[in-house]
Structure 1
Amino acid sequence: MNKYLLEIGTEEVPARFIDDSLNQLKNKAEDMFKEERICFDNIKTYATPRRLVLLIENIAERQEDLEELVRGPAKRIAYDEEGNPTKALMGFAKGQGVEVDDIIIKEYKGEDYVFAQRVLKGKDSKEVLKENIPELIKSITFPKSMKWGKKSFRFVRPIRWVLSLFNNEPISFDFEGIKVSNITKGHRFLGSSNIEINSVDEYFEKLRENYVIVDQNERKELIIKGCRKLAQEKGGNILDDEELLNELTHIVEYPTPLRGRIKDDYLKLPKEVITTPMKEHQRYLPIVDDNKNLLPYFIAVRNGNDEYIDIVTKGNEKVLDARLEDAKFFYNEDVKKPLEDYVEGLKDIVFQEQLGTVWEKTNRIIRLSEKIGETLEVGDETLENTKRAAYLSKADLVTKMVYEFTELQGIMGREYAKTSGENEIVSLAIYEHYLPRFAQDELPTTTAGAMLSISDKIDTIAGCFAIGIQPTGSQDPYGLRRQALGIVNILLDRNIHISLDKLIDYSLNIYEENGLTFNYDEVKKEILEFFKARIRNMFIDNGIRYDVVDAVLNSNNYDIADLYIRASELNKWIKKDELSEILAAFNRVSNLAKKAENKVEINTELLIEEQEKTLYKTFKEVKNEVEICLNNKEYNKALDTMITLRGPIDEFFDNVMVMVDDEKLKNNRLSLIKEISDTMLKICDLSKIVNK
C-alpha cells in the first residue's frame, strides 16, 4: 500500500491557528488529488506546535488516463466536395497525434464537426506530487501570516524544514531554498535535531522516541487522563474548559501534567479572580470539588517529560503566586469604595467616537431598560432593580481589576455590587447583561438581566448601523452578529414577547433625541434585514424547513418568540396530503392581491355573482375565528380554519372575472382578495412554501 507523508516544519505556530490549518491542508490535498486524477483511500492530518503533517494512504501508482474528445474544424471545411481530407483536417489530425481514419464526426451546435479522441497517459504519482506539493503548502492561508528572508510567499511562521516521503523514497522539490528531504526534528530540548526517516511507517514511532507525539488527539487524551488523575488524588475534578484543553493540546509536543498548590490566603478572593489569571494568563486548569467550589490546587501541562518535575512545579507555583498577589492587591484597592462611585469615571472612557462615552451608553441603556420593562409590564420592583443594574452595569470598567484582567468585566461588577450592599438581583443582572458572550454560552437567568442584556446589545447594534459601521464580509469589529444572536437567544429562551420592530425604534429614537443624524427609515430597514438573516439561519439550524422560515419571516411579524412558535407549527402543518391544492388556491389569492393598488372598503352591493357572495360570507366567519386563534397563539388551528376557504376561493376564480372594465367592480373584487391575503399574512405567507 503506497503512502505519502508531508511534514511542514515551522517555528511555533499559535494554537488558535492550528485546527483551521489542518482543515485547509486536508481539503486542499483532497482537491489536488482529485484534480490530478490520483486515487487514494484516506487523508489524515496531524499537528504539533512545530509541524503540520499530511498522511495519504493507499495512493495509486499513477494518474488515471484521461480520454478526451478534441473538436477540430467543421466537416464542410475538413473535407472537399469529393469527400477527400483537406489540409485543414490533416493538420488537425497531425496536431492531435491521430490518423485521419480515426477522426470522428459529431454534431455540435447544429453543424457537423470533426473530433479526435485523444488519450493522455497518466504520469507517475511521485512526479505529480513533486510538481504540486510546493503549491499546496503555499496555498494554506492564516488570519495573520509573515514573510521571512527572501521568500516569495507568506506563512504563519517561518518554515525551517520539509519532510516529503513516498513509502521509503524521499520526494524532493525546489522550495525556495528550504531543505526538502527525509530529515525531521524531535522535541526542541529533549529530542534530536536530525532524525532520518527511512519509511513512512516508522515516522510516528521515531518521533515518539524523540519526545514528540504527533497525533493531537492522542496528546489531548493524555492531557485529560493525566489531569483527571492528579485532580482525583485530591478529591476533585478539573474545571471543564474545552477551549483551554484544545489550546494546551496545541502548545505542547510531549505533555506531562503536574499539580501545584494555591496558597490559602488567595482562596479568600472571589473564585473568578483566582481562576481567570490561572486560565487566561498561565494556561492552568483549576481543580474543583463536586459542587464546583475551588480547591487549593491547579494543574499545569509541561512540554516535556517528568524529569525534575518538582522543580518545575515550584516554578509554576511562584509564577501563579505573583499573579494572584497582583489580583489580591487590585481587589483590595477596588473594594475601598462602593461600586457606584466608579460610575463617574465612565465619562472618561470612549465607547465609540461618534456614539460617545461609556457614560452616555449607560444612560441610553437605562432608558432602554425602562422602556422594555414598561412594554413587558414587569413589576415595579423588577423595573427598579433593572434600572439600578443598568446604572451600575459598566462601572467595573474603571476598576483596577478589570483594567488588568479585561476578561473579568461583568464578573467583578457582580462581586463589587455584592460588597457594596446591592441586592442579589441587581448584582446578578450586572453580570448577566454581558451574556451570552459566545456561542453556547449561558443565558441570563433573571428578568432584569435579560432586559439589561437586550438593552445593551440593541443599543450597540442600532448605534453602529446608524453611523454606517455594520458588518461586512468577515469584518465585524463590534461583534454585532454575536450580539444579534444573543438577543434572539434570550427572547427565545425566556419566551419574551416583544416586537423587534419596537426594540429598534426605542433605540434609534434615543439616538435621534441625543442629536445623532442618520436616515431613520433606511437604518431601521437595514437592522431588520440583519436580524432576519440571523433568525433564518438559527431556525434552519433547529430543523425548520427553509421555506417555512421564509413564510413566517414574510408575515411582517417581529415577535421572535412568536415567530418560532409559528415556524415550528407550520413545519408540522405542511405535511398535509392536500397541501398542493391548498397552496394552489392561496397562491392565486396572493398573486392577485398584489394588483390591489387602490384598496377600498368592500361594498356588499357590488357583490353580484353568487360565488363572490359565498366567498365574502364565508370569509367574514373565517376571519373572526382566525383572529381568536391568533390571540390564543393557536396557529395550526388558525391555518386549518383559513384553508376552509379553499373551496369558495376555487369556485370564485373558476366563475368570477376579477379584472373587468368596470373599475368599481374590479376594485371591490380585488379588495376582497386583498383582505383574504392580508388575513393569511397574519399567520404566514403560504406563497413561500415549496410543494415537495
Structure 2
Amino acid sequence: MPKFLLEVGTEELPADFVDSAIAQWQSRIPKTLDEQFLTPETIEVYGTPRRLAVLIQGLPLQQPDREEEVKGPPAQAAFKDGKPTKAAEGFARKQGVELDALEVRDTEKGAFVFVLKKIVGRPCREILRELIPQWIFGLEGRRFMHWADGDLRFPRPIRWLVTLLDDQVLPIELENGSETVTSDRFSRGHRVLHPEPVKLSQAADYVDYLRSAYVAVVQEERRSKIQEQVEVAAKNLKGHVPLYPDLWTEVTNLVEWPTAVVGQFAPEFLSLPPEVVTIVMVTHQRYFPVFKNTAAQELIPYFITISNGDPAKSEIIAAGNERVIKARLADAQFFYKADLSLPLESYLPKLEKVTFQEQLGSVRDKVARLEKIADQISEQLAFSDAERINILRAALLCKADLVTQMVYEFPELQGVMGQKYATASGEPEAAATAIFEHYLPRGANDSLPQTLTGQVVALADRLDTLVSIFGLEILPTGSSDPFALRRAANAVVNITWHGDLPINLKQLLGDIATDFVTAFPGKNSPVDLLEEFFLQRLRTLLQEERNIDYDLVNAVLGENDAEYTQRALTDLLDVRDRALFLQEIRNNGKLDEIYETVNRSARLAGQGDLNTAELEPPAVVQTKLFQKSSEQYFYDALVRLVPKTQASQEERDYHKLVEAISEIAPTVSEFFDGTQSVLVMDPDPEIRRNRLNLLGLLRNHARILGDFGLIVKR
C-alpha cells in the first residue's frame, strides 16, 4: 500500500507554532482522510524550525466503490399525474442517474424521492492533491504573515514543498501572486551543516534521509538529545539543571540538530538574587542555568545553551553567548544597586503615574482600595493587632516594585523583587514574604500563598480587581477574559480553601461593592453578577479540580435554591467539606444506605408546607394525632436526630449526621411499609399534615448535607 510524504519547508517558524501545527495536523489529517474513505495504517507528523511534515503509511490506492442514498424533493413536487416534473429531472441530472432510477418512499414527513447512487472510488492521488492545500492553509495560529505579492498567509514564507507518493512526485503548485512554489523531491538539510539540497528517493526513508543531512525531524529525538547533552554538561560542571518544561519545549523547537554549549559568566554576578540571573537566562536568553545541587538555590557561574550551529565552532558560539549574558547581567546589576539605594516605600508616589485601568485610576488608587479590603478581611476574621499591622503594611507595599528599574526591565520579577527590596528596607519578614506571595498562583502549576499575610493580601488584590472590573460591566465572554477574572475568582476560592479561612464572601462582596459605588457615582453594584460568577467558579472547581461528581456538586450548591446558593457564598469551607464528604460516602457505599430513605421522604414532604429551615419536632408535630406506633417511633427518632444535626454543623463532622440518618432508616421503613405503616396522604387534613411534617423534618435534616433530590442514584 502506498506511502505518502508531505513536507512544507519554510523560513524559521515560531517555536510555539511548531507544537500547535503538529497537534492540529495530528487531529485534522486522520479526520479528513477518513471522510474520504482513505483510512491509512499510520500517520506520523514532524516539525522543526524550518519544516512541517507528515508521513502517511498504508494508504489505499483509491477509495472503495460504494453506494450512497440521496434524498430528493417531495414526491408531489417530483411527479404530476404520474409523470416526472422539472424538479425530478433536475434532481436526476444532478445525481447523474436516469429518471427510472428514482424511487418514491414514505417518511415521517411524507413521501419523498430517493435515489441509490453507485459511486466509483476515486484514485488516492487525486484526493491528496485536493487535501494538501487544505492541510497547509487550514492551520491556525497567531501572527500569520503575507509574503511576496500574493494573498497566501502563513507564519513564515513557504520556500519549498515535497510531495512524494512512494517514489513519485505528486504535482502540487502553491500560487502566491508572482511567486509559485512547486512540489518536487528536494528537501533542505541543516542550514549550516548540510546547506545542499537533499534528494529524496522515496517517502518511506524521509526520517533517515533528513538525519543524514543533520536534521532530526522527530521532536522527541531532539528533546532526548538535548536532555542527555544538558545532563552530561551539568555533570561535568559538578552542577545540576532543574526541569524547566516550557524552556525544554521551546528549545526543542528552535533547533534542528542540537548541540549543548557551555558558557560562563563573571562570579561577581552571583551577588544578584538567583531569581534575577535565572530570569535573564531562561526567559530572555533561553539558557539553562546551572545550580550547585538539586535544591536549586545556589547558582554556579556557568550556563548551558543549545546551539543549532556547527559543533566544531562551539567555543566561538560560547564566547558570543558569554558577551550577551555579560551585558544583560551587568544591566541587571546596575538596576539592582540603583533600586536598593532607596527604601521600598519611597517608590509609592511613582505608582500614581501608572494606570491600572483608565476609569479606575492609577495603581496607587488600586493600592488604597486593596488596603481597605485587606482591613475588611482582617476585621471579619478577627485577626490580632500584630497580624493586622503586617497585613496592612504588605498591602501598602505590594505593588511598589512595579516602578523599580529592575521590574520595569524584567516584568516577570514583580513580587520577587518586592520581597527582596522590602527585606533590604527593614520591613517585617511577614510583610516582605506577602509581597511575593500575593501574586500566587501565577500559573496553573504554581503553589498558593502559604502565609496568612500573603493569603489575605492575595485575596484583597483579586477581590478589588473583580469588583472594580465587574462594576465597569467589563465581563468575561467566551474565550475573552482580558483581566483574567476567571483566574482571579478561582484564586479567591482556592486560597480560601487552602488557608481554611472562614470568610463570608457574600458579606465581603457586598461591602466592597458598596465602597465601589460610593467612589464611582453612577455605577451599579455588581454584587448579583459577582455572586453568580462565583457560583459558576465553585461548580467548576469542585468538579474539575476536586473531582466531585456533577450531581453531588448540584446537591451542595442547589439549583435555583437561594438557601443553598447563599449558604455556599457565606461559607466557602462548608461547601467544600460537604462536597468532599458526599463523594466520600458515595465511594464507600454509605450514600446508598440512606439514599432511598431520604429521597422517598423528601418527595412526599414536597406535598406539604413545612419550611425547609424547621428541625424541631415539637414545634410542628402534634403527638396527639398519632394513630400508629410507627408515628411515635418516627417522632422519637427525629428528636434524637436534632443534637446530632446541630453537632455536625458546629463541628463540620457530617459523619454524625449520616450515621444518625442510617439509624433512623429502619424506623422510616416501618412507617412506610411495616405492620404499623400509615397512609401519609390521609383524608383527614390535620393527620395528613402531621405525617407530612414528620417526613419534612427528616428531609430538612438531610438538607443540612445537600439536596438529595438532585443526587442521581448510581
Cα distance, 1:73 vs. partner?
7.8
**What residue number does 1:138 align with?**
137
Does the 8 Å contact 2:407/2:417 carry over to 1?
yes
Aligned residue for 1:119?
A: 118
Contact 1:39 1:63 in 2 (8 A): no
The equivalent residue for 1:551 is 555
Matching residue's letter, 1:625: K
SS of the residue aligned with 1:123? coil
Matched, 1:588 2:603: yes
After TM superposition, give the deviation of residue 415 of structure 1 in Å: 0.6
Q: Would the alpha carbon gap of residues 200 and 94 (structure 1) be closer, same or farther in structure 2, given more than 3 Å must change?
A: closer
Of 682, 697, 706, which residue of structure 2 is paired with 1:684? 706
CA contact (8 A) 1:599 1:667 kept: no
Q: How far is the alpha carbon of 1:267 from its aligned partner?
A: 0.9
Shift of 1:644: 5.8
CA distance in 2, matches of 1:175, 1:70: 35
Q: Distance in 2 between matches of 1:58 and 1:641?
A: 65
Query: By how many angstroms is 1:299 displaced?
Result: 0.9
List gaps (5 residues or longer) in structure 2: 559-563
Alignment partner of 1:536 is 2:555? no
Q: CA deviation at 1:413?
A: 0.4
Structure-1 residue corresponding to 2:572: 560
- Greater mean deviation of Cα atoms: 157-166 or 285-294: 157-166
Answering whether residue 399 of structure 2 is matched by residue 399 of structure 1, we say no
Matched, 1:271 2:286: no
Q: After alignment, is 525-534 or 385-394 more displaced?
A: 525-534
**Per-residue Cα deviation, 1:136-166 (whole angstroms, up to 9, x for no partner):** 2221111332333444443222222222222
Moved more, 13-22 or 524-533: 524-533
Corresponding residue number in structure 1 for 2:248: 245
TM-score scaled by length of structure 1:
0.89
Moved more, 401-410 or 476-485: 476-485
Contact 2:615-2:701 at 8 Å conserved across structures: no
Structure 1 residue 403: Cα displacement: 1.0
Match in the other structure for 1:212: 215
Q: What displacement does 1:74 show?
A: 8.0
Deviation at 1:686, TM superposition (A): 1.5
- CA shift for structure 1 position 94: 8.8
Aligned residue number for residue 36 of structure 1: 36
Distance 1:640 1:105 in 2: 67
CA apart distance, 1:87: 5.3
Q: How does 1:381-460 map to 2 (within 5 A)?
A: 381-460=386-465
**Does 500-509 or 463-472 show the bigger shift?**
500-509
How far off is 1:54 after superposition? 1.8
Contact between 2:441 and 2:491, CA under 8 Å: does it hold in 1? Answer: yes
Q: Deviations over 1:241-293 (max 9, x none)?
A: 11111111111122111111120111111111212111221111100012321
Which residue among 601, 622, 641 is the counterpart of 2:660? 641
**Could you tell me which residue of structure 2 aligns to residue 303 of structure 1?**
308
| Distance in 1 of aligned mates of 2:690 and 2:359 | 52
Instruction: Tell me which of 254, 259, 274 is aligned to 2:257.
Output: 254
Q: What's the counterpart of residue 328 of structure 2?
A: 323
1:622 is aligned to 2:641: yes
Higher alpha-carbon deviation: 173-182 or 44-53: 173-182
Q: Secondary structure at the match of 2:154?
A: coil
Q: 1:64-84: CA deviations, max 9, x gaps?
A: 333223456889999999xxx
Aligned to 1:160: 159
Q: State how far apart, in whole Å, the 1-side matches of 2:305 and 2:20 are.
A: 25
- SS of the residue corresponding to residue 174 of structure 2 reads coil
Structure 2 residue identity aligned to 1:687? G
Change (3 A) 1:492 1:66: farther
282-291 or 108-117, larger mean C-alpha shift: 108-117
Q: Is the 8 A contact 1:103 1:114 kept in 2?
A: yes
Equivalent in the alignment of 2:339: 334
Higher alpha-carbon deviation: 294-303 or 506-515: 506-515
Deviation at 1:483, TM superposition (A): 2.1
Stretch of structure 1 that moved more, 167-176 or 240-249: 167-176
- Mapped partners of 2:134, 2:684: distance in 1: 70
Looking at structure 1, the residues matched to 600 and 651 of structure 2 have their Cα atoms a distance apart, in angstroms, of 26
- For residues 223-251 of structure 1, the C-alpha deviation after alignment (integer angstroms, 9 at most, x for no partner) is 11111111111111113211111111111
RMSD: 3.5
Q: Secondary structure at the match of 2:161?
A: strand
Distance 1:196 1:529, change over 3 A: farther
SS at match of 2:279: helix
Task: Give the alignment partner of residue 582 of structure 2, picking from 529, 552, 570.
Answer: 570
Separation in structure 1 between the aligned mates of residue 556 and residue 653 of structure 2, nearest angstrom: 14
Distance change >3 Å, CA 144–CA 74, structure 1 → 2: closer
Cα distance in structure 1, aligned partners of 2:390 and 2:77: 90
Please name the residue that 2:561 is paired with: none
Counterpart in the other structure of 1:172: 171
Q: In 2, Cα distance between the equivalents of 1:66 and 1:464?
A: 58
Question: Which of 371, 380, 389 is residue 385 of structure 2 equivalent to?
Answer: 380
SS in 2 for 1:178: strand
Equivalent residue, structure 2, for 1:294: 299
Secondary structure of the corresponding residue to residue 498 of structure 1: coil
Q: Which residue of 2 aligns with 1:17?
A: 17
2:253 corresponds to which letter in structure 1? H
Give the deviation of 1:565 after TM superposition. Answer: 2.4
Structure 1 stretch 337-346 or stretch 365-374: which is displaced more?
365-374
Conserved? CA contact 1:327–1:401, under 8 Å:
yes
Rounded to whole Å, the distance in 2 between the matches of 1:544 and 1:588 is 25
Structure 2 match to 1:186: 189
Task: Give the structure 2 partner of residue 462 of structure 1.
Answer: 467
What's the TM-score once normalised by structure 2's chain length?
Answer: 0.87
Q: Using the alignment, how far apart are the partners of 2:622 and 2:605 within structure 1?
A: 24
CA deviation after TM superposition for structure 1 residue 335, in Å: 0.7
Residues 274 and 324, structure 1, Cα contact 8 Å, conserved in 2: yes
Q: Secondary structure at the match of 2:181?
A: coil
Q: AA paired with 1:35?
A: E
The Cα shift of 1:370 comes to: 2.4
Change beyond 3 A, Cα 1:606–1:419 = same
Contact 2:605 2:693 in 1 (8 A): no
C-alpha displacement at 1:603, in angstroms? 5.2
| Alignment-mate amino acid for residue 50 of structure 1 | R
Q: 1:424 to 1:78 in 2, by over 3 A?
A: closer
Unmatched 5+ residue regions in structure 1? none
